[in-house]
Amino acid sequence: MMTICAHRGASGYAPENTLEAFELAVQQGAHGVELDVQLTRDKEIIVVHDERIDRVSDGIGAVTDLTLAEIKRHVFNRTHPQYEGARAPTLREVFLAGHLHGAKDFLVYRDERVDYEAFSRASVTLANALVAYARYLGKTFWPLNLATPYPHPGHWPLGLVLLGLVLLAGVTGLVLWQRRRHPFGVTGWFWFLGMLVPVIGLVQVGEQSLADRYTYLPMVGVLIVVIWGVYEAGRRKAGRWRGLKPMLVCLAALVLLGCVLRTRDQCRCWRGSERLYRHALAVSRNNFIAAYNLGGWLDGEGRTDEALTYYRKAVEMQPRYPDPLNNIGCILAGRKQFAEAIPYFEAALRSRPDYVLAHENLAAACRELGRFREAIPHLEVVVKARPEDTGVLNSLANALAGVGRFAEAVPYYEASLRVRPEQVAAHYGLANALVKLGRADEAVAHYRQALQAKPDFAQAQHDLGIALARQGRIEEAVLAMREAARLEAGNATYQINLGRLLAARQEWSEAIACYERAVQLAPGNADAQFHLGKALAAQGRTEAAISHLREALRLRPDHAPARQALQALGAPPPP
């Protein structure tokens, strides 16, 4: 009895290596199914043939670089789009599928000596080259629906590929057969074929399958065949040529007139980027590059609502296209919609994991939402790509400091300052990190460098005062804190901390004046009320002191120092 084994399931009718294909194979009478397995990054056995998921799914990337969860996000229906829910199953899911119990499952162990990915790329490249030759030839004689660019569809229908092969083989055979009678045919045809070799897609550059500009020199070969052919036909039939000459002249004039009219029409399309890309969308199908380019132009003009429309059209046409995904995220982030922007940056990175700009944008959105831990790995990728970019170095250092990883932040601040030593923000961030690490002397030096570049930096003056106070350098601390309070006279915190430093020197009158200014600026600040009460008590102004201490407790009932100060004065807490 013959055993029928379905290759990757019923792969001619359903997406290969999916439960849908295996189920259909059993329904069609297969005795078993053949399938392929790969290991994911997290060591799960998944049923996928290629080493990458690009050909069969709406995702991109090597199986070994993706986790099972990441692969499961993608729909594996590129060969059969009607199967909208097709996913790549694990080997366990195949074995546990109830509808497959009637089949004997065969596992195919792949020969690691065969580069399946390279073979797949080569077949796609060859198919595109055959179709492109035919399309270039067709556009030479019938230059309608010209567009820029012509996007690569990924896979051409077999019928078109065979048609291109038959056309090339037929014309090549004809010119070789007639090479003695019409040697210009060999010259012109092989000129056309040869001049297109560097641009026919044997080495794929960009997303386009062909481009009109590539035909300028190859077209000379086609014209050699046409012009010499017409001349040869007239020379061989000289008698008839005299009678046909007026007709041929009229025909040539009509051809030239047609070329002039088409040139005029095309020139209109090139009068502006918007018109050019809209024309490309009108005359071509699924031109995701034109949709993206139009979105980019509109974005640059500030027409972001329209830009979003075309970016989304580009994504609908090509879900794996990372650039419009990234730009949608940028527009949303520019509108402060950071939570909505993040999924687009993540989608761009699933399509192109090494997309540095998307890593940078995702990190920025995470930082805006206070999600520093999520931002850090993306910033690390950007720093590896741009190790001397001070903005990125500072961002990574700030993110690390934001999650308390001060020792790791310091080298990035230092690297940034080696590139640009005059950066105020980097000196200030480094000083703060050094304070947290207990390296006060170094911190003070960087605070001073920040202030040397920007003397009116009030926050740096304040933090310098705190750092000096912790070192016991009270006189210098008071000077720094006075300057901070002078620069921002409306800052209650600066007034409180200046008062505390003055109180430490027993300068009660001036300290009380600082606390009173703080209370005036921020009446609801419990600390200002507490410190003012303490200073008044030290001056023997008990009644006023009790009033402010009670106010501190009213504002913050859990303010233990205020409660203790009231008890020391023998006053009951507020009811």
DSSP H or E run through 269: helix 238-269
Tell me the mean pLDDT in the region 111-127: 60
The Cα 391–Cα 402 span in angstroms is 16
Q: What is the pLDDT of residue 516?
A: 93
pLDDT in tens, 359-389: 999 999 999 999 999 999 999 999 999 999 9
Tell me the mean pLDDT in the region 422-441: 94
Query: In sequence order, what DSSP letters do the residues of 205-216 get, joined into one string?
Result: -SSEEE-GGGGT
pLDDT in tens, 391-407: 999 999 999 999 999 99
Q: What is the pLDDT of residue 484?
A: 94
Q: What is the pLDDT of residue 141?
A: 84
Note every long-range contact of 59-62, with CB atoms under 8 Å and residues 24 or more positions apart, other chains counting.
59/320, 59/350, 59/351, 60/320, 60/350, 60/351, 60/352, 61/350, 61/351, 61/353
Q: What is the pLDDT of residue 302?
A: 94
Is pLDDT above 90 for 430?
A: yes
pLDDT in tens, 299-327: 999 999 999 999 999 999 888 889 999 99
Tell me the mean pLDDT in the region 415-444: 94
Is 133 within 8 Å of 190 (Cβ atoms)? Answer: no
- Cα 436 from chain centre: 35
Q: What is the pLDDT of residue 206?
A: 59
Is pLDDT above 70 for 105?
A: no
The Cα 128–Cα 202 span in angstroms is 9
The Cα 204–Cα 403 span in angstroms is 44
DSSP H or E run through 6: strand 5-7
Is 416 within 8 Å of 404 (Cβ atoms)? Answer: no
Q: Where in 434-532 does DSSP place strands (E)?
A: none
- Cα 331 from chain centre: 13
Which residues, 6+ apart, have CB-to-CB distance to 52 below 8 Å? 60, 61, 62, 63, 117
Is 406 within 8 Å of 436 (Cβ atoms)? Answer: yes
pLDDT in tens, 494-505: 999 999 999 999
HEC string of 164-205 equals HHHHHHHHHHHHHHCCCCCHHHHHHHHHHHHHHHHHCCCCCC
Is pLDDT above 50 for 114?
A: no
Tell me the mean pLDDT in the region 435-460: 94
**pTM summary value:** 0.69
Q: What is the pLDDT of residue 52?
A: 83
Q: What is the pLDDT of residue 203?
A: 62
The Cα 523–Cα 515 span in angstroms is 11
Q: What is the pLDDT of residue 106?
A: 47
Is pLDDT above 80 for 115?
A: no
pLDDT more than 70, % of the chain: 91
Is pLDDT above 90 for 196?
A: no
First to last CA, the chain: 97
Mean residue pLDDT across the chain = 86
* Residue 354: both structure tokens together: 């090494």
Is pLDDT above 60 for 31?
A: yes
pLDDT band at 424 (very low <50, low <70, confident <90, very high): very high
Tell me the mean pLDDT in the region 429-437: 95
